[in-house]
Structure 1
Amino acid sequence: MDLILGAAITLSILGMVFGIGLAIASDKFAVKVDPRIDSINEVLPGANCGACSQPGCGGFAQAVVEGKAPVSGCTVGQAAVAKLVANIMGVKFENRERVISVVMCHARGVKDKFTYDGIQDCRAAHIVGGGFLGCDYGCLGLGTCVEACKFEAMYMGKDGLPQVIKERCTGCGKCAAVCPRKIISIVPESKMVHVRCKSLDKGAVAKKICQDSCIACKQCEKICPYDAIHVQNNLAVIDYNKCTSCGKCVEVCPNHTIINFAREQSLAAHTAALV
């Protein structure tokens, strides 16, 4: 009986010792979580889209606290969320203009080089012979960008080209990232004039392939009062830091390659409301 009692007491003492030891170790080696991480996570949209280059919203919140990501890094939440994150971090927030996606291809009358019967994905099609489209730079029209958009801000138009719904677009860049032709650009919302072509072919060649191609005539370059557009490698390129969207280049473009995005978006929104 004394032996059993002694064993029980010994085990109790050992249990207390080990318990105290574990408590001390738990406190000593505990990973302390900055409460600001949870606070930031609560104001994020919860899309977990990865557009901020972090593994989801939780990863972004932690990166901000650790100084590895800017408070304005959430492209989905944009300025509204950035301001809340800045307040949590106790830093000053400088409001930045909203950005949206623009499809820089306006192709019409482009014939296919061959019949493609493979996977209905632009990336897969691009691998096969550089793509089936007669234009080596144009949109393949298989809707990979539309599938990549988590915000239902894109749809395939009747012309076979992806259309952006400006009001829904968050500028996350997912559509641009999956496009093998790199024809989708993320631009400031206020910029309304865009060159809807990516062809680097010489004017005569480009014109034979696509009715809407840039032919490098330099009419836009000559008329721009702000030195905001120049022909580079047979393609007109806009410097958005200088462009005021005055539209003068739109008026002189012989192929209607340069467009006023405000008008295009108005038509797209009307079409989207009907589908």
Structure 2
Amino acid sequence: MEVLLGAAITLVILGAVFGMGLAIASDKFAVKVDSRIESINEVLPGVNCGACGQPGCSGFAQAVVEGKAPVTGCTVGQAAVAELVANIMGVTFEKKERTVAVVMCHAKGVKNKFVYQGVRDCRAAHVVGGGFLGCDYGCLGLGTCVEACKFEAMYMGEEGLPKVIEERCTACGKCAAVCPRKLISIVPVSKMVHVRCKSLDKGAVAKKICQDSCIACKRCEKICPYDAIHVQNNLAVIDYHKCTSCGKCVEVCPNHTIINLARKRSLAKRTLTV
């Protein structure tokens, strides 16, 4: 009996000693988590899209606290979230204008070079013979960008081209990243005028392939009062830092390649109010 009692007491003492040891070790080797990481994580959208370049929202929060990512790094949250993150970090930041995705192609009626029967993915189709589309620079229309959008901000239009729903677009850039022909640009929402073509073919060749193509006529370049548009490699290119969206280039473009989104937005609002 005395032997059993002694063994029990020994076990209790050993348990207490080991318990204290574990408590001390736990406190000594515990990983201290900066409370700011949790605070930042709470104000993030929580979509874990990875557009910030980090492994999800929690990864971004940690990167900001460690000084490895800017407070403005959340492209989905844009200025609103950046301000909250900056307040948590106790820093100031330069507010930037909201940006949206714009599809730089509006070609219609372009014939195919051959019948494509492969995987329904623009990237896969682009690899096969440079793409089945008659225009080597135009949208393949297989909707890979639409599938990449996590915010349901894109859809395929009736003419077979992707459309952006600006109100939902977060400018995360996922659609632009998967487009093999680099047809999607992320631009400031205030910029209304865009050249919806990426063809580098000479004017006569481009016109035969697509009726909406840029033919490098330079009319836009000559009429622009702000020196904001120039023809480079047979394609009109806008300098958005100089462009005021005055629309003069739109008026003289013979193929209607240059568009003014302000008109489209106005028409859309009218449709909604009717």
Above 0.5 in TM-score?
Answer: yes
**Cα displacement (A) at 1:263:** 2.0
- Superposed counterparts of 1:150-189, under 5 Å: 150-189=150-189
Secondary structure in 2 matching 1:86: helix
CA shift digits 1:13-33 (9 cap, x unpaired): 222221111111111111111
- CA deviation string 1:50-81 (max 9, x = no partner): 11111111111111111111111111111111
CA distance in 2, matches of 1:262, 1:73: 29
Instruction: Find the aligned partners of 2:140 and 2:263 in 1 and give their Cα distance.
Output: 24
| Structure 1: unaligned runs, 5 residues or longer | none
Identity %: 85
Q: Give the aligned partner of residue 87 of structure 1.
A: 87
Give the distance between the partners of 1:266 and 1:151, measured in 2 at CA: 24
CA contact (8 A) 1:165 1:268 kept: no
1:14 match: 14
Give me the whole-angstrom Cα distance separating, in 2, the residues matched to 1:25 and 1:226.
68
CA–CA distance in structure 2, aligned partners of residues 189 and 8 of structure 1? 76
Structure 2 residue 140 is the aligned partner of structure 1 residue 140: yes
Residues 63-102 of structure 1: pairs in structure 2 closer than 5 A:
63-102=63-102
Distance 1:251 1:148, change over 3 A: same
Q: Give the C-alpha shift of residue 267 in structure 1.
A: 4.9
Report the alpha carbon displacement of residue 5 of structure 1 after superposing the two structures with TM. Answer: 2.3
Aligned-pair distance for 1:268? 6.1
For structure 1, which segment, 86-95 or 183-192, has the greater mean C-alpha deviation from structure 2 after superposition?
Answer: 86-95
Match of 1:104 in 2: 104
8 Å CA contact 1:165–1:269 kept in 2: the answer is: no
What secondary structure, in the 3-state scheme, does the structure 2 residue paired with 1:100 have?
strand
Question: Within 2, Cα distance between the matches of 1:269 and 1:64?
Answer: 39
Quick one: distance in 1 between partners of 2:94 and 2:219? 38
2:163 is paired with a residue whose SS is: strand
Aligned to 1:32: 32
Give the SS at the match of 1:230: strand
Q: What is aligned with 1:197?
A: 197
SS in 2 for 1:114: coil
State the partner residue of 2:242: 242
Q: What amino acid maps onto 1:264 in structure 2?
A: K
Encode CA deviations 1:149-171: one digit per residue, 9 max, x unaligned: 11111111111111111111111
Contact 1:206 1:215 in 2 (8 A): yes
User: Would the aligned equivalents of 1:164 and 1:268 in 2 still touch at CA under 8 Å?
Assistant: no
Alignment correspondent of 2:209: 209
* Cα distance in structure 2, aligned partners of 1:72 and 1:264: 30
**Aligned residue type for 1:129:** G
AA aligned opposite 1:238: I
**Deviation digits for residues 194-224 of structure 1, max 9, x if unmatched?**
0000111111111111001111111111111
Kindly indicate whether the alpha-carbon contact (under 8 Å) linking 1:215 and 1:235 is maintained by their aligned counterparts in 2.
yes
* 2:228 corresponds to: 228
How far apart, in 2, do the equivalents of 1:128 and 1:39 lie? 48
C-alpha distance after superposition, 1:126-153 (max 9, x if no partner): 1111111000110001111111111111
CA–CA distance in structure 2, aligned partners of residues 175 and 194 of structure 1: 18
Aligned length, in residue pairs: 272
The residue matched to 2:52 in structure 1 has which SS?
coil
Supply the distance in 1 between the matched residues of 2:189 and 2:65 (Cα, whole angstroms).
29
- CA gap 1:159/1:268 in 2 versus in 1, 3 angstroms: farther
2 CA distance for matches of 1:268 and 1:103? 17
Unpaired segments ≥5 residues, structure 2? none
Alignment partner of 2:187: what SS?
A: strand
The one-character-per-residue Cα deviations of 1:25-51 (angstroms, maximum 9, x if unpaired) are 111111111111111111111111111
